[in-house]
Each structure stands twice: as structure tokens, then as C-alpha cells.
A and B are shown apart, each in its own frame.
Chain A
Amino acid sequence: MIFSPGEAMITMLPAALARVRDRHILLAFIGGLAVAVCWRGLSPGLEALLEERSGIGVGELLAIAALISVVLRFRNDELLSPADLLAIAAASLAFAIPSKVAASAPLAIVGCLFVLRRDARLASIGQLLLALAFYEWVGQILFHILSPLVLKAEAFAVYALLSQFGRFTLNGLVIAATNGHAISIGSACSAFHNLSLATLIWLSLIKLETLKLKRFHFWILAAMAAATVALNTVRMALMAQSRPMYEFWHNGSGATIVAVTMLTVVIGIFLSGRSLAPAR
């Protein structure tokens, strides 16, 4: 008997669906979240896909890769209960809405559902989803609420650094040099965004290697956070020097240099911290 491609697909589909396992369901979920997270607010044209303004960044890519690697460890195991399946399916409906806020809801819901599970694979998926939801959505809300305090602390840190090298004044969030140049520390300048990205990268790199979080992992995170804040403080201090310095470090090549340096340092600390850990 000879089947046409269409007929073969219709014949094989029920058999394929009968073999659906937990890993297939979770991979479909990751597919939905990849669409929702990486496809927010793209400009028309494929060239926009890799621009900074698209949703595709190192953090998202690493988190998705880590999620896939954890899900593939399920093999044919069946760990999801009927209630889990209903919750995941219901939450996934939000992926259909082309809105970043709506898309973050399934991440948060399924993340909360899994994060305290005994099975290390489910718990890891929960941790990764919550870290992604924090980076994409919750963290930004938290930052907006805390920004007056956070920015004051960061402005003071920049001022404290600058005062070692010259005469500067701090008025609220404005740092002024004696040459008349002044900068105002705005929300976009904060290290908070870099910290939530560093946390997402940290967790994703761990989960690509192992499912268990150990004490030395948190020391690595602390070092990554300290380096991130230090680099961002130095960047703002450089911007406060003069107008040309501001243009270079804020709008020019300096911004790229800082972004690449920060990413390199963060990943470098993770890798060296991992290799230095005595008994893993």
C-alpha cells in the first residue's frame, strides 16, 4: 500500500500523540515561552532579530538552553500529575497574547508550581522559570518601586568613588563636576538590571551542568554581583568626568565595551569560581 505524504501524516499522527511524554509537554511549553520572551516588540525585518532592542539576549538564550537540557533529562519519566498538566495548559494560553506582561504569567505560575518539588529536575525548571520571570517582568516592577532608594545608593557610590579623584558635588541624583558638566543617575543607568541578568546567567550555567545548587555556587553569585555593581559604578564615574566622556560611555562605543566586559567578567568569574571550588 502506498500513502501520499498527507495520508501518511494523518495515519502516523495518532500513534505519535499516543507516545507524548512529560518531556514533550514541557518542550512545547518552552517553545511557547521562547516565542513570547524572544519575540516581544520586534521591528519589522529579520535584521532586527539580533539588534539589542529585540528580546533575544544572552540571558534568555542561556535560560532556554538550560531549560531544554533539564527537560531532556526526563527521558520517558512521567512526573506530571493531572493537576500539573491542567495548570500548565491553562497558563500556556497566555502565550497566544502578544504582550510581554501576559507572557510572563505562565513563567511565574509554572515556576511557582515546580520550584519546591522534590524531583530535582522539576525544581530546576521552577527555579529557571522564576529567574526568567524575575528578569523579564517581576524584577522590573520591583525596580520601579525601589528605584528612588536604589538610585540614591548608586549615586552615592559613584560620588564616593569620584571624590577620591577630584572635586564633585552630589545633589539628589545629580553629580556635578567643577567643569560644569553634570549627570543625572536615571533608571536605565542602574546596575539592578545587570544584576538580574547576572543571576539568570548564573543559574542557567549551573543548570546546564548540574541540577543541585551548592554553597559555593552562592559565593560565585556574590562575586558576580559585586563585579557587576563595581563595573557599573566605574562606568557612571567615567560618564561624570566631561561631556565627551559621557557621549563615549553612554552613547558611543564605550557602552558596548562595558556590556562586553561585564558579560566576559561575569562568565569568567563563574568558570573560574567553578574550577576553584575544592570539593564539588
Chain B
Amino acid sequence: LNASPNLRVAAFCVIATAALVGVATRLSKMTTVTAEPAAFELKSLDLRVGEPIGNAAFDGVRNTEPPGVRLRVPGCIDSVFVVPIEILSPTAPQIADNTYSQMPYYRSTDVYGGRIRKDFSHLSKVASYLAARVFVDARNVDINYFLRVYAPSGCDIEPAAYLAWAAAILKLASAIGPAGSR
């Protein structure tokens, strides 16, 4: 079945217009867009010791591989550590566990996309990341990292506290901006 000349012209115009609009939309984003995904640099967090993060207080950055935010939490004798981990990296969670599981009696809780993730397998991380990317720019810290919170087993921590710590730290990291734009 041959297409009519009018349909051919209409299709050509739609495709050419979409390409031209594509040039315009990309030009309009050029001043802000960088190719590099935002890096989560804990050293750059603008925080002073004692500053509140949710119901906890900032107590410095643990300079290990990977580094983690140390928090003082009411009712906990030992510190809580919040560690940003690249969501698509199959190796980073293992390295974090190797580092932080050296502390006995600590358990970990994963937070991503404003939710606590139980059994956050590699496959569910990839699926969550892809779902998040539909709505959020790929360079945002929020979607490229999940936060693994290492807390002493004896501490009674409300789920809302985990979410508040994660939201506060992500907000501070997002304020720094993508690595390439600084």
C-alpha cells in the first residue's frame, strides 16, 4: 500500500520539526548540563560538628573507603554511619560492608527514593534506578546513590528517622551540585 504524497509531506514535516525542536531544547539546556553524573563528595558537605540532621547530630566524616557520615543519635551510645553508595555498582555495597561490618553488632538499612528498601538486591536496584530516571535527571545525586545506614543493633531507631537523615544528607549533597559544574 503506497502512501499518499500528503501523508509523506506531513511525516517529513513532523520528523524535521521534532529534530529542530530537539536542537532548541538541547541548546537551552547547554548552560546547565554536564555529562558527568554528580559525585557524592562527603568532604564537601557544608556541616559543622553538632549541627542537627533530623533527630541526630553531625559528628564528622569517617574517612574510610567508602567514607560515611557519622551521626550521634539520641539513645545510642555508639555512632550511626550513613554511607552513600553508587546504586549501579555491583562492587561498592560489598566494599562498604567489608569496611563497616568490622564493627560488631551493627546492622544495615538501605534508603533509596525516599523509602526504606528491604532486601535491596542488585536487580531491584537497577529496576528502581531505571524507574527513577524516567522522572529525574540522570545527573542528580538522588538517583545515582542510595544510602546505607549502619546502626548499632541495640539502638531503637524509628523508620522515619532513617528517611529524615537520608533526605537531609541528599539535600546537602544536591546543593553542592554536579561535580562538573563547579
Contacts and interface: CB of A to CB of B under 8 A. Distances in A.
Given A17-B12, A35-B19, A148-B90, A82 B25 contact: no
Given A20-B12, A147-B90, A81 B3 contact: yes
B8 interface: yes
Given A184-B91, A186-B91, A36 B22 contact: yes
A80 B3 contact: yes
A53 B91 CA distance: 24
Interface stretch (A22-30, A66-74, A198-206, A220-228): A22-30
By secondary structure, the B interface counts as: helix
A42 interface: yes
B12 A151 contact: no
By secondary structure, the A interface counts as: helix
B34 A32 contact: no
A101 B95 contact: no
B162 to A, nearest CB: 25
A1 interface: no
A88 B90 CA distance: 37
Interface in A178-237: 184-187
Contacts of B8: 20-22, 25, 80, 85
A28 B33 contact: no
A96 B28 CA distance: 12
Contact of A151 (B22, B23, B26, B91): B91
Contacts of A186: 89, 91
A59 to B, nearest CB: 16
Interface residues of A, number: 53
Contact of A89 (B14, B22, B29): B14
Contacts of A89: 10-11, 14-15
Interface of B: 1-5, 7-16, 18-19, 21-23, 25-26, 28-31, 33-36, 88-91, 94-95, 122-123, 126, 129-130, 133-134, 138-139, 180
